[in-house]
A and B are shown apart, each in its own frame.
Chain A
């Protein structure tokens, strides 16, 4: 019973991320490294926000304050990661974009156009991974880490004896947590794609969507604290809506063909492309 719940909850939270990892990231070593890097950066942002929480002793019980601070740090780290990965102008080496002709990242349906912008004139190197797949991978890393940190202790507790409410909570406690973790994984992907593409194209007003929806979804989870499980539907539904909006926005920003994207998700050609690798 407990193991069943353990697997159920962990798969609710992480199976989409796992599948995305297996099909789009696992076959490209560079992407795996970037994923690890981005997960680490999220960890750094969490570290910074915990330090703030720890330092501001009187407000330790008022988690709202530290949540807002944490959100700010996360967004700041997201932007910082963009500059870290892109080397602030394309210097080669290490984590930056080394020169490349071919695209290594055409493995997900989003990037149909693998543009090679070779600036041979100035000799400036070009990204080895297209920015879109780069941002997607980073988002996956961020999201995975965010979900993991909120779920992993819970999952460990579930696999022991006795669960359901896990300490006097309502019976939907675990389900709500898992679903919210899932939502936040998706949301992180969308936010990261939008952020990266925005900064690249210098259309900074879309960042308002990212910051706004992050604050909204996160602060709505404050409603979870009440004993009524139905109230938890609000953050879940709102997060779902934000995730869908985010998905459409990111697709719009990367100029993907929407119809093509959705059909590629279900068409055999996509499967064939994956299997061929």
Chain B
């Protein structure tokens, strides 16, 4: 189908070329119109990601500021053994660095295990692992969340009703995420579990460990996705070689992930992978899996910029993969009307963005929260821009997290005192 399209376009172009000098302006017109459409299309995709990311962050921030359970850290995970309450900066520094390194090590181990399993085609094992983790989140963490929410709102609720509600909630979530369901429902559940994971992390990680961890994870993301021997890059390439999709449910997708257009290559494999994905997010380890998929943001990452051949294999990328060479823009115009390819962002990115903003808001200063939010949004737009230019798997974390962390510290240390001094006396600038 893709090849046929590009041939038709070739003919079109030859025809228009044969008309002589007059179409020169029209050519410029068309080029500009194409670039215009591209810009509009690109910005549409960016907004499609802004919305869920903002919703997730808003959810996390509102829960942190109202439910005291998540903003108080009394217990710690066994992965962060160093958590003395001390004011000595040196001690805080080495403790948080060690904690973060331990967690990062865990992440790396998990990623490697995942890749080994994937390479050995142990899809059932991966599937089972993802199922178990999503059950954990959708049932147990949700139960705790609802319990704490109810106690904050001071509502009385009996166990039986609670059991029925959580059972239904969790089961529908499982179905929506791992199997078929309305797209909106799936998206809502994915946002919910990302927010829940972020809340859990904010609760259980000591403060400075969070910041060091964020920095280290984004460096790891950068390395893993971009280096030639990086695990996530290998994962993406293996998936591309086998023409398989890459855990569609670990990814937030703005269009239905199960389009069969262009993925007719290996329907059986496709079937398998339909169920394969999930929103695992048990430990930070699995967040990494989403970054590979974070790669497939915007026009389906690897499939794009390829030749007019059938590259298929990626959810809903079929028509888009035809965007090749000189005919690229033209063909893509046709693909625009399809809307069958959406933007995909890994759930791990949601989690880490929300962790950053949630941690920023737990300090109580809303100026900081606001500036971190905008910094992350700008980082996300830049990443998507780079993706549109680079057309390959890109990590979504580094730029946003860098901006976010820089702005957090700058705002909380320098801007906030200034602004507070101004607003206390109602001076406006």
Contacts and interface: CB of A to CB of B under 8 A. Distances in A.
A155 B369 CA distance: 14
B36 interface: yes
Interface residues of A, number: 61
A232 B426 CA distance: 10
B111 to A, nearest CB: 32
A198 interface: no
A154 interface: yes
B391 to A, nearest CB: 14
Interface string B353-370: 000000000001111001
B47 A224 contact: no
A88 interface: no
Nearest to B375: A40
B56 to A, nearest CB: 17
Given A39-B374, A54-B414, A156-B366, A225 B32 contact: no
Contact of A100 (B36, B365, B367): B36
B55 to A, nearest CB: 15
Contact of A153 (B35, B38, B420): B420
Interface stretch (B122-130, B183-191, B377-385): B377-385
A63 B422 contact: yes
Contacts of A176: 426
A30 B381 CA distance: 11
A36 B423 contact: no
A159 to B, nearest CB: 9
A43 interface: yes
B176 interface: no
- Which of A33, A50, A148, A181: most chain B Cβ within 10 A? A33
Contacts, number: 152
Contacts of A206: none
Nearest to A104: B40
A8 interface: no
Given A29-B40, A30-B43, A36 B429 contact: no
B426 A224 contact: yes
A46 B375 CA distance: 14
B429 A67 contact: yes
Contact of A225 (B366, B375, B415, B425): B425
Contacts of A93: 389
**Interface residue SS majority, chain A:** helix
A151 B312 CA distance: 51
A149 interface: yes
B385 A94 contact: yes
Contact of A63 (B28, B47, B385, B425): B425
Contacts of B378: 36-37, 40
Contact of A154 (B32, B370, B371, B423): B423
A200 B41 CA distance: 27
A29 B367 contact: no
Given A32-B47, A98-B39, A101-B29, A146 B426 contact: no
Interface in B177-215: none
Interface in A196-228: 217-218, 221-222, 224-225
A181 B419 CA distance: 14
Contacts of A186: none
Interface string A135-157: 00000000001101110111110
Given A36-B378, A40-B374, A101-B32, A224 B425 contact: yes
A29 to B, nearest CB: 4
B422 A67 contact: yes
Interface stretch (A78-86, A119-127, A249-257): A119-127
A49 interface: yes
Nearest to A119: B28
A195 interface: no
A153 B366 contact: yes
A173 B173 CA distance: 48
Nearest to B361: A156
Contact of B39 (A37, A123, A128, A184): A128
Nearest to A100: B36
A218 B429 contact: yes
A153 B423 contact: yes
A74 interface: yes
B380 to A, nearest CB: 10
B426 A225 contact: yes
B33 interface: yes
B38 A149 contact: no
A173 B381 contact: no
Interface of B: 24-25, 28-29, 31-33, 35-36, 38-40, 43-44, 46-47, 50, 364-367, 370-371, 374-375, 377-378, 381, 385, 389, 407, 410-411, 414-415, 417-423, 425-429
9 contacts: A30-B43, A40-B374, A40-B378, A46-B418, A54-B418, A63-B421, A118-B28, A146-B428, A153-B365
Given A43-B407, A70-B429, 4 more contacts: A33-B47, A67-B422, A149-B370, A173-B426
